[in-house]
Structure 1
Amino acid sequence: MNENHFNQMKTKGGFIAALDQSGGSTPKALAAYGVTEDQYTNEDEMFDLVHQMRTRIITSPAFSSDKIIGAILFEQTMDREIEGKYTGDYLAEKGVVPFLKVDKGLADQENGVQMMKPIHDLDETLRRANERKMFGTKMRSVIHEANQEGIKAVVDQQFEIGKRIIEAGLVPIIEPEVNINSQDKEQAEEMLKEELLKHLNELSDDQNVMLKLTIPTKANLYKELIDHPNVVRVVALSGGYSREEANEKLKDNDGLIASFSRALASDLHVNQSDEEFNEKLQKAVNSIHDASVNKN
């Protein structure tokens, strides 16, 4: 493990950029950027275009380690280059800690949750992540209802795989997202917190994780998780909230920092001049950084 990266993730003010849209979500990300499906004819062309978009974001002067402390990448982004360097190396030289999304998407809903699909090639993916100098990984499940059995299954699966990631020398970001439109969101979050604490308390002193959670309905609900000795950092997903709404909710939670995707890139467009693009990105970066470090 890179100790400098560990210390940065543990202590530095700022937020994590989520640039990890995969095969299923890439068309939506491109469409929001102004690239429609009639502009590419196959998956290879689609991934070329999304890498161009991510390259434009990462190479922007607005994408600075002064405010962005980490970035989560899709596997294809990890394997591609930016200005002649693998993306992880480029980010690290820029002072931004690289992470890799390792999940293969969501299974069908059962017991009010969507668990992760099996990750059959996890060991090989982790080997390559180390080779590409990733610091950690990220994997996502979704909780739709306050169903105790379902929430327990989600957290059990996350930590089972998380421990394999730790054994490979990487720090897992465990992401059991609670759907912001859930009818019993607050109750689901209480259940989730208890399940997370059970697993965290079973970790040994040298087993470290990060958590990526939906901003809770009850402010500071996750403070106990943030302060837990085995937790490097707790970060928040925007979950479909607008950037303004996500930022306001984030400010009410001490110690919680952002890891936004759509809320970071929502004002960017393929046809913007570099000046306009950088200005829009800087505005987004400034507001998300402010919400992550300046609390109400």
Structure 2
Amino acid sequence: MTDKLDEMIETAAAMVAAGRGVLAIDESTGTCKKRFDSIGVECTEQSRRDYRHMLLSTPDLGEHISGSILFDETLRQSSADGVPLTKIMQDNGIIPGIKVDKGAHPLAGFEGEKITEGLDGLRERLNEYYELGARFAKWRAVITISEDNPSQACIDANCHALARYAALCQEAGLVPMVEPEVLMEGDHDLQTAYEVTLLTLKTLFDQLFDQNVVLEACILKSSMVVPGADCPEQADVDDVAEATLDCFFNAVPASLAGIVFLSGGQSEIEATEHLDAMNRMGTLPWPLSFSYGRALQSSALKVWGANPQDNVKAAQAELSHRARMNGLATMGQYESKLESE
């Protein structure tokens, strides 16, 4: 375990190194179909392969992208030329990661709440994923805010599953990325989002401690503390940054390897601005980086979808730009004027 632990600690540190973050392209086939439908591209195994190959082969992407979360299908795929996508990633300095949960399903007895499934058989799957080249994994839980939710039972169940998953990851030599996402859906205000996020994170780290998870070899993927999308009073960039950091200071141990944010429905620019604002707020006990899906892919997807054969370089340029902007944000060096350069 010592050799594996040393490797995991090294991997976790590399994932959140200054100026770099994680590209999330682990959308399920169903979610990918929705994205492709929006650009008029048929969702087939080949089109998904071609799209993700386009992203992962972006020249010099590794300068700002440290790792990428893949779907099971992608981890096993090769390019049209027969080169494994994992090799393309490694040659580009990008660490392969893998989504391992089986999705969020209704929590029995608790209307409107969900529990993430996938622990059965996970040990065997993790060992296989390590052999296939993955060096970190991700498990997402969702917490919904409404008039009656979330319940403590929902938070407890999801955090316990996250901790059991994390322990199994470290047993297999994979860095666990634990993702308790507090959804933006709803009309709740900033204070409510803060209270739910704080309770969720405190519960999560209690569970991780109970399951003997080594925090120096663990990454938190967190939502930012933001009001619900339907809240009449939206918060400005500094309010979100202050609320999020205050929440983390009260719940996240300093020994954690790092924190990466999900974009959770934010626009590309909003996600970058929020990350930058937090990294301008003085010295922090953990690196703050990004693990964005749509907030890195949206522009590239639109450009590629307009002509998948001819627009590869143009789409890669869009991804490269967003990766660079977010890389600067991890160091508090982003400026809006750079968007037009």
Shift of 1:54: 0.4
Counterpart pick for 2:96 among 95, 98, 103: 98
Matching residue of 1:84? 82
Q: 1:254-265 maps to which residues of 2 (within 5 A)?
A: 254=279, 255-265=287-297
AA of the residue aligned to 1:176: P
In the superposition, relative to structure 1, how do residues 250 and 239 fare at CA in structure 2: closer, same or farther (>3 Å)?
same
Q: Which runs of 5+ in 2 are unaligned?
A: 227-242, 280-286, 335-341
**Does the CA contact (< 8 Å) of 2:15 and 2:21 recur in 1?**
no
Whether 1:253 aligns to 2:253 is no
Separation (CA, whole Å) in 2 of partners of 1:181 and 1:150: 17
Separation (CA, whole Å) in 1 of partners of 2:78 and 2:220: 28
Secondary structure at the residue paired with 1:115?
A: strand
Q: 1:118-197 maps to which residues of 2 (within 5 A)?
A: 118-145=118-145, 146-182=150-186, 183=188, 184-197=192-205
Matching residue of 2:32? 26
Separation (CA, whole Å) in 2 of partners of 1:111 and 1:150: 10
**Does the CA contact (< 8 Å) of 1:97 and 1:135 recur in 2?**
yes
AA of the residue aligned to 2:332: N
Secondary structure at the residue paired with 1:186?
A: helix
Matching residue of 2:338? none
In the superposition, relative to structure 1, how do residues 205 and 28 fare at CA in structure 2: closer, same or farther (>3 Å)?
closer
AA of the residue aligned to 1:215: M
Whether 1:238 aligns to 2:263 is yes
Counterpart pick for 1:216 among 206, 220, 225: 225
Secondary structure at the residue paired with 1:228?
A: coil
In the superposition, relative to structure 1, how do residues 28 and 205 fare at CA in structure 2: closer, same or farther (>3 Å)?
closer
Higher helix share: 2
Over aligned residue pairs, what C-alpha RMSD do you find? 2.4
Matching residue of 1:55? 53
Secondary structure at the residue paired with 1:241?
A: coil
Q: Which runs of 5+ in 1 are unaligned?
A: 41-45
* Higher mean C-alpha deviation, range 196-205 or range 207-216: 196-205
In the alignment of these two chains, the number of paired residues is: 286
The superposition leaves residues 44-84 of structure 1 with CA deviations (integer Å, 9 ceiling, x where unpaired) of: xx2221111000111121x5211111110000100011353
Whether 1:228 aligns to 2:249 is no
Q: Name the larger-Rg structure.
A: 2
**Does the CA contact (< 8 Å) of 1:226 and 1:234 recur in 2?**
no
In the superposition, relative to structure 1, how do residues 281 and 149 fare at CA in structure 2: closer, same or farther (>3 Å)?
same
Counterpart pick for 1:75 among 67, 72, 77: 72
Separation (CA, whole Å) in 2 of partners of 1:10 and 1:246: 17
- How does the TM-score come out when normalised to structure 1? 0.87
Separation (CA, whole Å) in 1 of partners of 2:36 and 2:196: 32
In the superposition, relative to structure 1, how do residues 60 and 111 fare at CA in structure 2: closer, same or farther (>3 Å)?
same
Shift of 1:204: 4.2
* Higher mean C-alpha deviation, range 6-15 or range 141-150: 6-15
Separation (CA, whole Å) in 2 of partners of 1:85 and 1:124: 26
**Does the CA contact (< 8 Å) of 2:166 and 2:213 recur in 1?**
no
Whether 1:115 aligns to 2:140 is no
Secondary structure at the residue paired with 1:174?
A: strand
Counterpart pick for 1:15 among 7, 21, 32: 21
Q: Identity of aligned pairs, percent?
A: 24
Separation (CA, whole Å) in 2 of partners of 1:6 and 1:235: 11
Matching residue of 1:43? none
In the superposition, relative to structure 1, how do residues 224 and 234 fare at CA in structure 2: closer, same or farther (>3 Å)?
farther
**Does the CA contact (< 8 Å) of 2:299 and 2:319 recur in 1?**
yes
**Does the CA contact (< 8 Å) of 1:12 and 1:69 recur in 2?**
no
- How does the TM-score come out when normalised to structure 2? 0.76
